[in-house]
Amino acid sequence: MSNSPVTVEQHGPELLHHFVDAEQQRDAATLGMWLFLGTEIMFFGGMFCAYLIYRFWYYNEFAAGSRSLDIWLGTINTAVLICSSLTVALGVRAAQMGKRKLLVILLLLTIVFGLAFLGIKGVEWYQKFEEHHIPGPSFNVDDLVKAYPQIHIDPRHEQIYFSLYFAMTGLHALHMIIGVGLFVFLTYYAWKGRYTPKYYTPVEMGGLYWHFVDVVWIYLFPLLYLIDRKPLR
Amino acid sequence: MSEHIMSSKLYYTIWIALLCLTVVTAAVSFVDLGRFNTVIALVIATVKALLVVLFFMHVKYTSEKLTKVVIVSAIFWLFLLLVLSMADYATRLLS
Amino acid sequence: MSTVAITAEREHYLNKEYGIRSWLLTTDHKRIALLYLISITFFFFVGGFFALLIRLELLTPAGDLVQADTYNKLFTMHGQVMIFFFVIPAVPAVLGNFLVPLMIGAKDLAFPRINLLSWYLYVIAGIIYVHCILTGGVDTGWTFYTPFSTAFSNTKVIEAGVAVFIIGFSSILTGLNFVVTIHRMRAPGMTWSRLPLFIWAHYATSVIQLLGTPVLAVTLLLVVFERAFNLGIFDPNRGGDPLLFQHLFWFYSHPAVYIMILPSMGVVSELIACFTRKRIFGYNFVAMSSIAIAVFGFLVWAHHMFVAGISLYSALVFSILSYLVAVPSAIKVFNWTATMYKGSISFTTPMLYALGFIGLFTMGGLTGLFLACLGIDVHVHDTYFVIAHFHYIMVGGAVMGYLGGMHFWWPKISGRMYPEGWGRLAALLVFVGFNLTFFPQFILGYLGMPRRYWQYPPEFQVLNVLSTAGSTILAVGYVLPMVYFLWSMRYGKIAEDNPWGAAGLEWKTSSPPPTFNFDEAPVVTWEAYNYEEIPAPAEVPVEQ
């Protein structure tokens, strides 16, 4: 390829010069994003491994800790994320069809849902703070020990549950914040008309990332909130 | 990535399914099914994840095999980590 | 031959733009490779400096050069700098970055800006780590074992952990770039079976980087949290399992050693083919063995934990798997040797490094099998036997592969020839110095000298003195190339497009290449290593 500008029919400013054509660029971006999501599976996976082992060892403490989480807020948050995945998917579709205004609305809705999720998470964390369930100097699970006299709760093991709870939901929340930030950029550029049926790759890639963060939560919810909600004998 | 434009109706259907499954998984957790509680919770989670991956992330409609290879490989690798670590933990007391 | 800068008349990637901004904001993979070259060379000397202090201390049995706590810092930082800041990035980030697009006929990597980002992540991590060194260092051993690192060490564990976390992402992004590039940007006609084995090796390496590094990242994150917030995830006093840390740590860190060796194996394939003027014997086997190493390498991590308290049954499983992982490496060694049979061999500097690699890597690999045997490992675990084993692979193997590759592709990178006589001398010094440094350590370990000890019984002194003497020779061997490479940039003989008469697309463009690599997009109609069609150079280029 000479150093002169590529003269391809669909060549717009978004075609980067080192690619042969727009299709190669889109295929590269897609593969790159999926590979990145693969690394994220391993990234969260390390924590899932720690969770798995300690859940086996300290089932009672994990169950008690799980019960102390607010199942209503957890379920609502799961629903919020599912709604956000819907708006993302509809948004990609709007971009495919060239519907700029609809795309912007859907992207904004996604951001709203994302912020709602973070807000609810903040409320949950604050609840944990008030209950002294945040690992650290003021950690105290006497309330759980008293609440479940029929099983033995070791506060040290309970602390492991909550450490993993905050580490896993914290890492997830960080990914949500990054996602919201990404979508702010996407919304701005969408509003500016940058995305057309011929070029909406960033929206698609942002969508893939957002869906992935949703899928992580889909697993975190039962693993953290639903360990043991059976009626106590 | 496929150029195939999905119908919004399909998206709404998946959305409803995901919400229903969420309610189900939360409700079932209150029923005493012994060890099956965990199994069911994970099965439902996997179904939800599959719905998101296959439909929202268009994996069902892509002609690109490599996408599926990447997803399966990553999940398989995670299982390697979990299973081989558990091989140690599960057999420690046998020694 | 003339040393007039004829190259100034022709535009290429080095003279296309001048000025610091054109380098710090470049997206040209070749310039980024040089940025990496500067940074990893810097850290090589930092790590080497720590090695020097270690060997100086070990000249005498008594702990008389530094205090014991300081010695702990020395071996920790030597290990972390060398592993994370030198050996892991060296071949992929310098040679890989430079050559992958050229070898497949592309204009650049798939994501040039992410490539630059990965270098900046390296630099940020480097600054943090240097700050860590200068403000007290870290003494946990390169392995960050808990609960010492999380609860008891008084050193800069968090800083070191954060630095390694960041450089992990540099590594992940490089791997991601390579995989996408190799899948999506091969020139027309460049099918998978026509790819140079260097590319197969980097592909396999990148897969390991993508799948393994994130686990290290999240593990270090947990260590940092544990230390910062006084958690108990790995604290046995609070029900935590230190072995959990080790499982998570070694899940990455064992495959990491394959990140370190595979790229150099790729280099060796190129060198052996060129300097025997033959297609690599068993191309398919060598290519597939790279993939096999990447996969099997993930199945063996607990062989670092045989005496740590894992169950005997899992130890058995990991021992068997550790034997299996040697097979693909052995396949490569056999194929390289078979390639040389009836080949037209020339003993240029790169070839000397390649031959050294084959011998020393084999020794390192075989001693790895000793360690895979549970009974032997109980005896030599945490002794100098282990240290000798991994230095044979990482230094005798990986670093020699890196140096061989630097010499081989230097004409392409710089447009200049290095002085061949000095090159061969340096290679010889490295080989002799290396063996003198590390062979005695096998014996020391077998006799029972533990690693990470700052003083030792007097009967071990002779071997330690030999080792330290060897390390000084090795050091000279490492400094020489730095000197003559720099010298050659001004005074070296101007290189032709293909001074070695080598196969490969990178040799079909000029030395140095233009910014977009090829004047015309290549179309490949030939098989890899088509040496029967390439005339040998009239004389092996030698500059006295």
User: Residue C325 gets which letter from DSSP?
Assistant: H
Q: What is the mean pLDDT of chain C?
A: 95
Two structure tokens written together for C140: 């946990």
Mutate to test the interface with C, among A163, A164, A165, A209 (most CBs of C within 10 A): A163
pLDDT of C8: 52
The Cα A13–Cα C73 span in angstroms is: 52
Q: Rounded to an integer, what is the distance from CA A11 to the centroid of its chain?
A: 35
Confidence of residue C537 (pLDDT cuts 50, 70, 90): confident
DSSP lists the bridge partners of residue C383 as C450
Where does the pLDDT of residue C5 fall: very low under 50, low under 70, confident under 90, or very high at 90 and above? low
Better pLDDT: B6 or A121:
A121
In a domain, A34, yes or no: no
Q: How far is A87 from chain B (nearest CA, A)?
A: 9
Q: Give residue C543's pLDDT band: very low, low, confident or very high (50, 70, 90).
A: very low
Q: Given CB atoms, is C112 within the 8 Å cutoff of chain A?
A: yes
Q: Which amino acid is at C388?
A: A
A159 touches chain C (CB under 8 A): yes
Q: Which of A34, A45, A212 sits opposite B78 (nearest CB)?
A: A45
CB-CB neighbours of C466 under 10 Å:
17
pLDDT bracket for residue C539 (50, 70, 90): low
* CB nearest to C313's CB, from B66, B84, B91: B91
Cis bond upstream, residue C147 (ω within 30): yes
Residue of B nearest to C321 (CA): B84
Per-residue pLDDT, A2: 40
User: Which of 31-70 (A) contact C at CB < 8 A?
Assistant: 31-32, 35-36, 38-40, 42-47, 49-50, 53-54, 57-58
Q: CB of A224 within 8 A of CB of A121?
A: no
State how many domains chain A has: 1
A16 confidence band (pLDDT: 50, 70, 90): confident
Other residues' Cβ atoms within 10 Å of the Cβ of residue A2? 10
pLDDT at B94 exceeding the cut of 90: no
d(C-alpha B46, C-alpha B48), whole Å: 5
Predicted confidence at residue C538, as pLDDT, reads 74
Q: Is the pLDDT of residue A4 over 60?
A: no
Question: CA triplet C178, C182, C188: central angle to 5 degrees?
Answer: 150
Task: Give me the pLDDT at residue A5, please.
Answer: 43
pLDDT number for residue A14: 75
Q: Residues A142-159, buried b or exposed e (16+ Cβ, 10 A)?
A: eebbeebeeeebeebbbb
Q: Are C234 and C281 in contact (CB under 8 A)?
A: no
Give all domains of chain C, ordered by start, each with its CATH number: 28-533 (1.20.210.10)
Min CA distance, A37 vs chain C (Å)?
10
Pick from B77-86, C7-16, C88-97: least confident: C7-16
- pLDDT classification of B93: cutoffs 50, 70, 90: confident
In-domain check, residue A192 = yes
Are the beta carbons of A226 and B25 separated by less than 8 Å?
yes
Evaluate whether C518 touches A1 at the Cβ level (below 8 Å): yes
A95 to chain C nearest CA, in Å? 24
Q: Per residue in C132-169, pLDDT tens? A: 999 999 999 999 999 999 999 999 999 999 999 999 99
Confirm if C364 and C389 have CB atoms less than 8 A apart: yes
Buried b (16+ CB within 10 A) or exposed e, C38-66: ebbbebbbbbbebbbbbbebbebeebebb
- Residue range C238-277, pLDDT digits in tens: 899 999 999 999 999 999 999 999 999 999 999 999 999 9
Mean pLDDT along residues A205-220: 98
Token output for C41: 């060379």
Distance from the C509 Cα atom to the nearest Cα atom in chain A, whole angstroms: 13
Interface contact B85, partner C, CB < 8 A = yes
First to last CA, chain B: 51
Of chain C residues 501-520, which have a CB less than 8 A from chain A?
514-516, 518-520
Model pLDDT, residue B5? 83
Mutate to test the interface with C, among A160, A169, A171, A174 (most CBs of C within 10 A): A160
DSSP bridge partners of C494: C416
Whole-prediction pTM = 0.95
In a domain, residue A212? The reply is yes
How many angstroms separate the CA atoms of A118 and A112, rounded? 10
Dmax (CA) for chain B in angstroms is: 58
User: How many whole angstroms separate alpha carbon C428 and alpha carbon C439?
Assistant: 16
Ramachandran quadrant class, C455 (left: phi over 0; alpha: psi -120 to 50; beta: rest): beta
A232 close contact with B: CB closer than 8 A: no
For residue A177, what are its two tokens? 């914040």
Q: Do residue A219 and residue B71 have CB atoms under 8 angstroms apart?
A: no
- Is the pLDDT at A1 greater than 70? The verdict is no
Tens of pLDDT, residues C179-229: 999 999 999 999 999 999 999 999 999 999 999 999 999 999 999 999 999
CA distances from C494 to B34, C275, C484 (A): 77, 21, 14
pLDDT in tens, A28-43: 999 999 999 999 999 9
Looking at the domain assignment, is residue A16 inside a domain? no
Distance separating alpha carbons of residues C529 and C518, to the nearest angstrom = 20
A222 with B45: Cβ contact below 8 A: yes
Tokens of C280: 């690599």
Residue A7 lies in a domain: no
A93 assigned to some structural domain: yes
> Is the Cβ–Cβ distance between C408 and C352 less than 8 Å?
no
Task: Give the domain extent around A107.
Answer: 44-225
Partners of A199 in beta bridges: A196
> From its phi and psi, is residue C517 left (phi > 0), alpha (psi between -120 and 50) or beta?
left
Shortest Cα distance, chain A CAs vs residue B41, angstroms: 6
In a domain, A10, yes or no: no
Q: What one-letter code names the amino acid at A61? A: E
pLDDT over 90 (residue B34): no
Which pLDDT belongs to residue C128?
A: 98
Residue C104, burial from CB neighbour count under 10 angstroms (0-12, 13-18, 19+): buried
Kindly list the residues from chain A whose CB atom is less than 8 angstroms away from the CB atom of residue C179.
31, 35
**Cα gap B51→C463, rounded to integer Å:** 64
pLDDT band at A8 (very low <50, low <70, confident <90, very high): very low
- From the number of C-beta atoms within 10 Å of its C-beta (0-12, 13-18, 19+), residue A112 rates as middle
> Would an 8 Å CB–CB cutoff place C369 in contact with chain B?
no
Mutual angle of helices A22-57 and A59-67, in 10-degree steps = 110
pLDDT tens digit string along C278-333? 999 999 999 999 999 999 999 999 999 999 999 999 999 999 999 999 999 999 99
Q: What is the ipTM of this complex?
A: 0.94
CATH (domain of A204): 1.20.120.80
